Amino acid sequence: MRDTDPQAIAQRCAEVLGHGRLVILPTDTVYGLAARADITAAVRSVFTAKGRDARKALVIMVSSAAEAAELAAGEARDSLLSLGTLWPGPLTVVVKAKDLPWRQSVAPSTEMVGLRIPDSPLLLVLLGITGPLAVTSANPAGKPAPASFAEIDTGILAEAGLAVDGGDHGSGRPSTVVEIGKGGLKVLRQGDISEDDLRTALLRYGEKEETRPAVTRRNGGDAGC
């Protein structure tokens, strides 16, 4: 399916996702493999399709910072909203999640969940229809994430109920990933959003110098959206 009319395509994607099927679609970074976060069987099929380690959590995409804050535990919300000034965009913020009915299916081995608002008209329309989506890059585990439709593995395509062809789409680089925890703010994966961008966002929101989370770096980070 070609990416031409975001509203019509979003409606079609929402129908497929609502039936518990997977959808491949372009994001603002790489092509993603998406499932409804609240349909456990669909989320499990994401892990199966990719051959993904079941201990690795999936990113949750939402349509607004307010929606992201509703999914986060109370102690993380202020810092989350601070960083939310960088949304929509290639930033995934990992926070402690509320006791959501579907949390264990998207994050089987942790209380933390990665939240993101993509800078994509198609995805923003879709998320407004479906609510939270569990999304990861549309590639077999350990393989490069596809920046174009032509790069998507045929095995992954076969697992999807619908694939949206946006051609060459997005930056081709996964999002910056940061974690909000007791020790401050850790950069888990560096992307287009820099540590300076993160510090500026925290200042802009008005957090005092002595209470702002410290920004530190930790090497590594799984490939993804």
pLDDT of residue 207: 47
Give residue limits of the domains in the chain: 6-217
- What separation in angstroms does the CA of 151 have from each of 21, 29, 33, 47, 182? 21, 14, 13, 20, 39
Answering whether pTM is above 0.95, one says no
Please state the rounded mean pLDDT for residues 44-48: 97
* pLDDT for 176 beyond 50: yes
pLDDT of residue 13: 98
Which pLDDT tens digit goes with each residue over 141-162? 999 999 999 999 999 999 999 9
Instruction: Give the list of residues 6+ apart from residue 48 with CB closer than 8 angstroms, or none.
Output: 159
Q: Which of 70-74, 102-106, 169-173 has the lowest mean pLDDT?
A: 169-173
Please state the rounded mean pLDDT for residues 43-55: 95
Secondary structure of residue 177 in the 3-state scheme: strand
pLDDT of residue 225: 84
pLDDT of residue 178: 94
* Alpha helices, DSSP H, located in 89-167: 103-106, 121-130, 154-159
DSSP string, 114-125: EEE--S-HHHHH
Instruction: Classify domain 6-217 at the CATH superfamily level.
Output: DHBP synthase (3.90.870.10)
Six-digit token string for 87:
């949304």
Q: How many CA atoms lie within 13 A of 130 on its CB side?
A: 34
